[in-house]
């Protein structure tokens, strides 16, 4: 036996109904103000230093840096 009528669904309407099922509950501060731990690269840091300036401290790529801004504030 064959089907007498084939009904094709609307893919846009079908997917739109499933969007709400796919959403996850996420805390607001989980996505707010995320940044990398090491924002400055070694090459960027050395480019900012003038060539005629004598460095008093050696610059290491894995050296932890101090953040000038407060907690959850961007550095501009």
At residue 72, the 3 state secondary structure works out as: coil
Per domain, the residue ranges of the chain are 11-48
pLDDT in tens, 24-70: 666 666 666 666 655 555 555 555 555 555 556 665 555 455 545 55
pLDDT at 5 > cutoff 60: yes
User: Following DSSP, what letter does each residue of 30-53 receive, concatenated?
Assistant: GSTT---S--S-HHHHHHHS-TTP
pTM over 0.85: no
d(C-alpha 41, C-alpha 16), whole Å: 42
Contacts of 42 (CB under 8 A, 6+ apart): 59, 61
pLDDT at 14: 59
Backbone angles phi, psi at 46, to 5 degrees: -70, -30
pLDDT at 4: 79
Mean pLDDT computed over 10-34: 62
pLDDT at 9 > cutoff 50: yes
């Amino acid at each position: 036996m064959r089907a007498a009528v084939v009904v094709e669904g609307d893919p846009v309407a079908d997917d739109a109904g499933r969007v709400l099922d796919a959403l996850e509950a996420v805390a607001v501060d989980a996505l707010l103000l995320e940044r990398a731990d090491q924002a400055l690269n070694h090459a960027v840091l050395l480019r900012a230093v003038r060539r005629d300036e004598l460095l008093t401290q050696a610059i290491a790529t894995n050296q932890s840096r101090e953040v000038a801004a407060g907690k959850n504030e961007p550095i501009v």
